[in-house]
Amino acid sequence: MFVARPQKYKKVVRQFKKKVMKSNFILIFTFLGFFINAQIINGQIISENDKTPVSYARIGILDENVGVISDKNGNFSFDLTNIKKDKNLIVQVGGFENYKVQIKNIDLSKKLTISLVDKVQNIAEVQLKKQRFTEKNWGSNSHSQKILFAYYPERTNEDKSKEIAVYFGNNNRVKINKINVNVAELKADQPLQLSFNIYSKKDKLPDESIITENLTAILTNDEIKNGVFTFDISARNIWIEKEDFFVSMQVLNSFGGYLFLSGSLFHTFYKRDFYSKWNKMNIAEPSINIDVKIVK
């Protein structure tokens, strides 16, 4: 049996302790370097008009698939460490003017308060009693159980950020009364926070929001009637003035479970993640349709 000499044993122990201490110092300085260099922005989004929080707003980097969603109190935290300082931080919420600021102009040592300015209504209300109009349903109305569009945030991070939009060609003056979403199946551990938007068209893609109100709704199974979730906005006075437009939908909160929308083959829809560029998808179209009143 081998027995180490006491003096040699003490020397080995000292060398071992030095290596451990050196490794710990390296680890500590690595973590310190990370925290020193990390560019974390903490903030809150509020309405400038009444100072109330704007819940579930999307904060992102313009033309990039990077972002976060504010909580129900409008609070958010965003890691900007790997984002170029000349990039723009942007917030877009229906009913508010777009907010944009260059990252280099943000003071990261302070909590950032983003005040969103309400849009001004610039379309005069049409007096329906003095007008002739007809009612129509536009868009895909499929109830397919085989062609499906999925929101499955537990399985993919993309579903926590994606926004889908459908196109409507229009050369009339129309009022949007209802947005209908054909739901094939919903299984969720909490109500879904849905946001809808209406965009103008530029270069054949969605462009600027043209609504002056924040269109949000709560989706639960109780709200689905005969496979359709209907968001009644007839009291919102939303008119489209003889121009093509897009209607978009997004799920704002993460949830356990899934949402499947029915779809139609050989149609087109548009998709983006956070504030990345819109992509045209030519395979199929989600069943999002609208009830409109058309002025003759």
In a domain, 250, yes or no: yes
163 and 111 within one domain? no
Segments forming the whole domain that contains residue 71: 40-116
The domain spanning residue 232 has which CATH number? 2.60.120
In a domain, 263, yes or no: yes
pLDDT in tens, 34-56: 344 568 899 999 999 999 999 88
88 and 141 within one domain? no
133 and 90 within one domain? no
pLDDT band at 224 (very low <50, low <70, confident <90, very high): very high
| Out of 95-99, 174-178, 268-272, least confident range | 95-99
In a domain, 277, yes or no: yes
In a domain, 15, yes or no: no
In a domain, 169, yes or no: yes
Mean per-residue pLDDT of the chain = 86
83 and 215 within one domain? no
Per-residue pLDDT at 74: 94
72 and 98 within one domain? yes
| Out of 18-22, 55-59, 82-86, 181-185, least confident range | 18-22
267 and 166 within one domain? yes
Distance between CA atoms of residues 157 and 128, nearest Å: 45
Between 131 and 116, name the one with better pLDDT: 116
Per-residue pLDDT at 13: 43
| Out of 52-56, 203-207, 284-288, least confident range | 52-56
283 and 138 within one domain? yes
137 and 81 within one domain? no
The answer to whether residue 292 scores a pLDDT higher than 60 is: yes
Pick from 269, 225, 267, 220: nearest CA to 247: 269
pLDDT in tens, 86-124: 999 999 888 899 999 999 999 988 999 999 998 876 544
Per-residue pLDDT at 94: 82
112 and 135 within one domain? no
Per-residue pLDDT at 126: 47
Number of domains in the chain: 2
Per-residue pLDDT at 120: 74
The answer to whether residue 9 scores a pLDDT higher than 80 is: no
